[in-house]
Amino acid sequence: MSFADHIRACNNYERGRVVPLVAGGRRIGRLRRDNAAALSRFARVFAVEPERVRLVAAGDADTVSAAVDEVVEALVVERQVPKWRNETFDVMARWGEPPLFRLDRGAVPFFGVRAYGVHLNGYRFDGGRLHLWIGRRAPDKRIAPDKLDNIVAGGIGNGHGVVATLYKEAEEEGGIPAALVERAQPVGAVSYLMETELGIRDDVLFVYDLELPADFTPKNSDGEIVHFELMPADEVVERVRATDDFKFNVNLVILDFAMRHGLIPVDDPEYLDVATGLCRPLD
């Protein structure tokens, strides 16, 4: 294992394997060719062309969402999509624009729609040594069960903003009160483009750092994290390098933290792989 292995795993996307999903002439997703072909039966919603798929369902966000959802239901029956039923993501060409429709979270990789999340690095200095609060994901999580995670991480559901998601997840996942969360600093984003069994993950993670006081201990209340541990940050970084213990994208968030906090020396043979590998330019 190496730092670059984790970066490569999250960036295994190959352009030739997908066609764009377009709406109004702009790309809103990336469909693996087998997924694109599976949409040809739904001609009232999608027009499948050789080198692209067009969203043809028209109307306001509610109308288009309902039309797309009928397609998703059919794909769920065929077990091509694992529907979550409790969370939808907004779909738009660019962050900040009004959503064209809402999509069940389980169907997001099928359509290769860009998904946004928030990750918080919770840290503190203990005896002058930088430490990170690390959580262990519950064994019943759909994605990456039992893997290690940031103290707070979550997807940005429809209608929620970055900051609202940060506060909500900080409280539910880590028991961090709002008075502490407001000290969190936005420090950038991690982005990657990854093919999985289900399709394409085009993910953008808004990253925050928060220095936590010595008397704070995180406490999970939504059942998503079973255990928290305060680990020396340099040991976290070496564990990222040597193992697959962390959730795939958490490796990248921790490497970003490590880079920004001077934990990776310039003579590390992977220094430039890490420094230039964590924020794939959005196109």
Q: Which two tokens stand for residue 189?
A: 């984003």
- Measured from the CB atom, the residue of 82 and 188 that comes closer to a copy of itself is 188
- Measured from the CB atom, the residue of 178 and 266 that comes closer to a copy of itself is 266
Alpha helices per DSSP H over the chain: 3-10, 33-38, 61-77, 108-111, 162-174, 178-181, 233-242, 248-260, 271-275
Binding mask 147-166 for a copy of itself (x = CB under 8 A): --------------xxx---
Could you tell me if 245 and 148 are in contact, meaning their C-beta atoms sit under 8 angstroms apart? yes
Kindly give the pairing relationship between strand 185-195 and strand 200-211. Answer: antiparallel
Q: In whole angstroms, what is the distance from residue 79 CA to residue 106 CA?
A: 11
- Measured from the CB atom, the residue of 37 and 164 that comes closer to a copy of itself is 164
Rounded to the nearest whole angstrom, what is the least distance from the CB of residue 259 to a copy of itself in the complex?
A: 5
Q: Which two tokens stand for residue 191?
A: 């982005």
Nearest CA to 234 among 255, 215, 253, 217? 255
Tokens 């060719």 map to which residue? Answer: 33
Select from 70-78, 133-141, 237-245, 271-279 the region that touches a copy of itself (CB under 8 A).
Answer: 271-279
- Measured from the CB atom, the residue of 57 and 189 that comes closer to a copy of itself is 189
Q: In whole angstroms, what is the distance from residue 64 CA to residue 200 CA?
A: 22
271 binds a copy of itself (CB under 8 A): yes
Q: In whole angstroms, what is the distance from residue 149 CA to residue 135 CA?
A: 5
Nearest CA to 209 among 277, 123, 151? 123
Kindly give the pairing relationship between strand 148-150 and strand 129-137. Answer: antiparallel
Q: In whole angstroms, what is the distance from residue 28 CA to residue 22 CA?
A: 6
Which residues lie closer than 8 Å to 206 by C-beta, 6 or more apart? 116, 117, 118, 119, 156, 162, 166, 186, 189
259 binds a copy of itself (CB under 8 A): yes
- Measured from the CB atom, the residue of 68 and 254 that comes closer to a copy of itself is 254
- Measured from the CB atom, the residue of 106 and 117 that comes closer to a copy of itself is 117
Q: Which residues pair with 193 in a beta bridge?
A: 202
- Measured from the CB atom, the residue of 157 and 188 that comes closer to a copy of itself is 188
72 binds a copy of itself (CB under 8 A): no
Rounded to the nearest whole angstrom, what is the least distance from the CB of residue 260 to a copy of itself in the complex?
A: 5
Query: How far separated are the first and last CA of the chain, in Å rounded?
Result: 30
- Measured from the CB atom, the residue of 128 and 269 that comes closer to a copy of itself is 269
Q: How many amino acids of this chain bind a copy of itself (CB under 8 A)?
A: 35
Rounded to the nearest whole angstrom, what is the least distance from the CB of residue 188 to a copy of itself in the complex?
A: 4
Tokens 């213990």 map to which residue? Answer: 245
98 binds a copy of itself (CB under 8 A): no
Rounded to the nearest whole angstrom, what is the least distance from the CB of residue 169 to a copy of itself in the complex?
A: 14
Residues 172-231 that bind a copy of itself (CB under 8 A): 185-189, 191, 204, 206, 209
Residues 107-136 that bind a copy of itself (CB under 8 A): none
Rounded to the nearest whole angstrom, what is the least distance from the CB of residue 250 to a copy of itself in the complex?
A: 18
Residues in touch with a copy of itself (CB under 8 A): 11, 95-96, 161-163, 185-189, 191, 204, 206, 209, 259-262, 264-267, 269, 271-273, 275-282
